[in-house]
Amino acid sequence: MSEAPVDPVRAARAHMRQAAVKRFYRAVEVREVEGGRHAVTLDGRVARTPGRNALSATSRALMTRVAAEWERQRETIDPADMPLTRLLNSAIDGVARTMAETRAEILRYAGSDLLCYRAEAPETLAGRQAEAFDPTLRWAAERLGARLTVAAGVVHVDQPPESIEALRRALEAFDDPAALAGLSAMTNLTGSALLALATALGFLEPQEAWRAAHVDEDFQNEFWGVDEEARVRREARWREMEAAAIALAATRTGVAAPAR
C-alpha cells in the first residue's frame, strides 16, 4: 500500500509548533554537493531536515534564499520566520517519496476548482468573481487544453474527462520535488489548482493569484469589517504563498505547458 501524500502546508505548520531552539551556528553558506545539488551548510556542516536528509535542492538560487532565512535568525531560531525552509523540508522528506500521490491530490482540487463555482447573488460579487476568475479559465483552455465547466452555486459539477486529462499532463511536467511541493502548497492555500498552475507557468503573479483566491472574503470584509485573528492568519498564509512562489520560480527552467 502506498503512503498518503504529504501536504506541505500541514507539514509546514507542524514545524511551526516546534519549541524555539537557540541559534547554534555562526556561518551560513551554500555549497555544491554530490548529484549536482546545492545544500545549506552551517559552520561547514550540511544542514539536515527533520527526517535527517540533507537540506538541498538542484537550484542554487533556491538554496540561496533558504540560506538567507537561516542567516537572519538571531538568538533563537523562529520556524515561523522560515517558510521556505519548511516547504523544502516537506519536499525532501515527503513529496520526493510521493510524487504521484501529490499530483493526484492537486488534480482532485481541479475537479472542484474554486474558479468553477460562482455566486448567484449579489450581482456585484458575481461580477468580481468573473473578473478575477475568467482570465485564468481562458488561459487554461488555450494554453493547457483544459476547458472547465462553470456552475452557479455550490452543487458539484463534473468536469470533462479530457480537460482533467489535460491538467494531469500539465502536472507531469513538475518533476522536481521542490517545485511540486510549491505547487501543492499553492493549491491548498488558494483552493485552486488552476491558480497554482497559472502562477507556476508565469501567467499570473503570486499577488494576482492571491487576490483572486480571496475575492469572496474581501467582499465580505467590505460589509462586516476585518477580523483581527483572520487578518493574522491570512498574513501567515501569504508568507507560505510567497515561499511556494519562490520555489516554483527557482525551478521553473524546463517546465512548459504540455503538447496538445
- Predicted confidence (pLDDT) per residue in 123-145, tens digit: 999 999 999 999 999 999 999 99
- The CA distance from 210 to 44, in Å, is 38
User: Averaged over 36-44, what is the pLDDT?
Assistant: 97
pLDDT at 17 over 70: no
pLDDT at 2 over 80: no
Between 144 and 17, residue with greater pLDDT? 144
Mean pLDDT over each residue of the chain, to the nearest integer: 91
Reported as a single tens digit per residue, the pLDDT across 138-178 is 999 999 999 999 999 888 999 999 999 999 999 999 999 99
- 3-class secondary-structure state, position 24: coil
User: Averaged over 245-252, what is the pLDDT?
Assistant: 93
User: Averaged over 72-92, what is the pLDDT?
Assistant: 96
pTM: 0.88
pLDDT at 257 over 60: no
CA angle 188, 197, 236 (to 5 degrees): 35
- What is residue 162's predicted lDDT score, i.e. its pLDDT? 98
Question: Residues of the chain with pLDDT > 90: what percent?
Answer: 85
Question: What crossing angle do the helices spanning 193-200 and 99-111 adopt, rounded to 10°?
Answer: 120
- What is residue 83's predicted lDDT score, i.e. its pLDDT? 97
* C-alpha dist (Å) from residue 195 to 15, 187, 202, 203: 26, 7, 11, 9
- What is residue 178's predicted lDDT score, i.e. its pLDDT? 97
Which residue type sits at 95? V
Residue 244, all three cell numbers: 511556494
- The CA distance from 260 to 253, in Å, is 20
Comparing 81-85, 154-158, 190-194, the range with the smallest average pLDDT is 154-158
Comparing 6-10, 16-20, 150-154, the range with the smallest average pLDDT is 6-10
- What is residue 252's predicted lDDT score, i.e. its pLDDT? 78
Which domains, from first to last, does the chain contain?
Answer: 8-97 (3.30.2180.10), 99-250 (1.10.3580.10)
What is the per-residue burial (b if ≥16 Cβ within 10 Å, else e) of 196-232? Answer: bbbbbbebbebebbbebbbbeeebeeeeeeeeeeeee
Between 258 and 99, residue with greater pLDDT? 99
pLDDT at 210 over 70: yes
pLDDT at 217 over 90: yes
Give the pLDDT band of residue 15 (cuts 50, 70, 90).
Answer: very low
- What is residue 153's predicted lDDT score, i.e. its pLDDT? 86
Comparing 39-53, 179-193, 214-228, the range with the smallest average pLDDT is 214-228
* C-alpha dist (Å) from residue 150 to 73, 132, 159, 166: 46, 14, 9, 17
